Structure 1
Amino acid sequence: MRVNTLKRAAVAFALALPGAAVATVVAAPPAHADGCYTWPRTLTQGRSGADVRELQIRVAGWAGYGDIVHIDGRYGPETAAAVKRFQAAYGLRVDGIAGPQTYAKIYALQDNDCTPKHFSYAELDNGCGTGGWSGGPLSTSATRANALRAMWKLEALRHSLGDKPLYVTSGFRSVACNRKVGGTAGSQHLYGNAADLISRSRTLCEVARSARDQGFSGIFGPGYPDHGDHVHVDSRRENKQDGLANTTDWSASDCGVN
């Protein structure tokens, strides 16, 4: 459970006590960047820099059907379109400009470690009972960076499905873990790019179909061998190390996703 959630629960409990003194209750501060990242300026098309790159990571899940947001630090039409989709999805003014209203929503969505509030590194780390981010083909920092981008896409997917919980059953796998669970030799799980998902409120086909709009270039679900009980999503188009860069592979034939 998140720290802020605990704070809100404590405040609610205190207020519910008979005769509780309201003056002694300290409410949780409003959501903000805190230990994560704060944007120093408004961003529009033509801008470039590290702050653009940070923005692109957070709107990567609003790429649009079959597209991705390149994390290149350049604010072009692709990034502006993703920002517009993000703004529309959250009821903001749709102008493609990343300014105070857009940043406020991002701050409200992210935790101090820059992960989106409904997903965590712990959910996506090595899934064979050992935890951690080592043992794959990439460095720990590169693997975690891939996982962070994947989590922001998952946050967008979750929101597109009505903000109903999505559960990650497998995220990053070390080479040893991947071998143990019978994963393919070139699995995207090795790079921190992938997540296997289930939902208790949406069908797997709804998850697979929505994932097409959320920047996932790999989608496998019902109708694909051994994927009848979960949906696999990954970001293979952005993975330069595995030879699948610029590749899109969707296969969930029972859902019309091909």
Structure 2
Amino acid sequence: MLARGNRGHAVKTLQLDAIRLGFGELLGKAGADGIFGEDTEKTIEALQKWLKIEVDGIAGTQTKSSISKAKNNAGLKGTRNFNIHEFYCKGSNTILSGGMDKNLILNLETLRYELGNKPISVNSGYRTESHNKKVGGASKSQHLYGKAADIKVKGVSASKVYNQANKVFNTGGVGKYNTFTHVDTRSGRVRFTG
């Protein structure tokens, strides 16, 4: 059980999980510092309310289990700041039966946090093969597998988004375009400009 006054790696992991689910802005200036203070307690309370579990500001078994389940279901249900419908194919209004890659959405929450909690717009998420062809996507585009998103961040230049995405999506793909940034969770690091 983690509560106010605890410190260390387990607290930092809890804070990072809160960021990946969209609650980073509540952590205050300290962020994921490994110290369970007032801001972390308030963050856990907000997270518990969102998870629809008992709200006590303590990360016990139920809270940890619910956080883990929410992370595992992020590709099917989304997170606090990303509704899964934002990732539906723009041509067919569908998504893969298994949903999007959970790490794509969790990383997007981290990116949002790292960019000052500015709203991220998803221009393109999942694409069917026919829609991918229609928009001129690559034949093996990560969009086909639910592993990619083309994004814009309100009030942040595409180059700044690209630079930060380079860190957050360290082992995936990041593409720099004039008006948007491509991010994906493929295996292996790939960088490109369009």
Q: TM-score surpassing 0.5?
A: yes
Does 2:155 match 1:201? Answer: yes
Counting only pairs closer than 5 Å after superposition, residues 18-167 of structure 1 correspond to structure 2 as 83=13, 86=16, 90=27, 91=31, 94=34, 104=45, 106-107=47-48, 114-128=77-91, 130-134=92-96, 140-141=97-98, 144-146=99-101, 148-167=102-121
Whether the aligned pair in 2 keeps the contact of 1:120 and 1:151 (CA below 8 Å) is no
Among 206, 214, 218, the residue aligned to 2:173: 218
CA change 1:93–1:199 in 2 (3 A) is: closer
- Of Structure 1 and Structure 2, the greater strand share is in 2
Aligned length: 151
Secondary structure (helix, strand or coil) at the match of 2:90 reads coil
Offset of 1:145 from its aligned partner? 4.4
What is the TM-score with the length of structure 1 in the denominator? 0.49
Secondary structure, counterpart of 2:191 in structure 1: strand
Q: Which runs of 4+ in 1 moved over 4 A?
A: 79-82, 100-114
- Matched to 2:116, the amino acid is G
Q: 1:160 to 1:93 in 2, by over 3 A?
A: closer
CA contact (8 A) 2:104 2:148 kept: yes
- When residues 93 and 220 of structure 1 are mapped into structure 2, their CA distance, relative to the original with a 3 A threshold, is closer
- Name the one with the larger helix percent: 2
Give per-residue Cα distances to partners, 1:161-184, cap 9 Å, x unaligned: 111111110000011111111111
Shift of 1:212: 2.1
Aligned partner of 1:7 in structure 2 is none
Deviations along 1:97-127, one digit per CA (max 9) or x if unpaired, are xxx9585565467798752121111110112
Residue equivalent to 2:5 = none
Q: Kindly indicate whether residue 124 of structure 2 is the aligned counterpart of residue 174 of structure 1.
A: no
1:249 equivalent among 177, 190, 194: 190
Q: Give structure 1 stretches of 5+ with no counterpart.
A: 1-40, 43-78, 135-139, 222-226, 238-246, 254-258
Change (3 A) 1:229 1:165: same
**Unmatched 5+ stretches in structure 2:** 3-8, 53-69, 71-75
Residue identity over aligned pairs, in percent, reads 25
In the alignment, the residues of structure 2 paired with residue 159 and residue 195 of structure 1 have an alpha-carbon distance, to the nearest angstrom, of: 17
Q: Which has the larger radius of gyration?
A: 1
Q: 1:115–1:121: 8 Å Cα contact kept in structure 2?
A: yes
Please provide the CA RMSD for this pair. 3.4
Contact 1:125/1:132 (<8 A) preserved: yes
Return the TM-score normalized by structure 2: 0.64
SS at structure 2 position matched to 1:149: helix
Retained in 2: the 8 A contact 1:110–1:116?
no
Find the counterpart in structure 1 of residue 180 from structure 2. 230
Contact 1:157 1:211 in 2 (8 A): yes
